Amino acid sequence: MEITEFALRMGCAIVAGLLIGFEREYKNKHAGLKTNTLVALGSAIFVLISLRFFGEEYSDITRVLSQVVIGIGFIGGGTIVQHGKDIHGLTTAATIWCSAGAGCLAAFGMFGELGILAVAVVLINLIFGIVDRKIGREKTEEE
């Protein structure tokens, strides 16, 4: 892979991570711009390294994808906290997982899919954040 193609894919991962992270930062969540951007970038880098071995004997580049998923599971798990009966951080963990997916899409050059994913993650977090708050207020008013 030429350096310009590498930079393009890396840059797309960064932009997607920034887009996803901006929404989390705007909502003042712990995993915001930096975290989501670095997760997308790191995922892309590992996949780009694995692509270097594509077609070589005894290599399976899909193993890196599975290891990214497992590794991000540990990071996401660290964001989930239980306070009594309340659980916090599930959406943040899921968003981090999506950022890793964005990095993988960027690394494979799936730019259209990457754009759709980034927009979908932001919209889901924005729209369902509003829905969650509305449902939460209605529950409080009923009690």
Residues 27-55 have a mean pLDDT of 91
Q: Residue 31: left (phi > 0), alpha (psi -120 to 50), or beta? A: beta
> What span, in angstroms and rounded, lies between the C-alpha atoms of 7 and 2?
9
Q: What amino acid occupies position 32?
A: G
Phi, psi for residue 27 in degrees, rounded to 5? -85, 5
Question: Is the pLDDT at 46 greater than 70, yes or no?
Answer: yes
86 forms beta bridges with: 83
Contact (CB, 8 A) for 93 and 80: yes
Model confidence pLDDT, tens digit, residues 78-99: 888 888 888 888 889 999 999 9
Q: Which domain holds residue 126?
A: 3-142
Domain count, the chain: 1
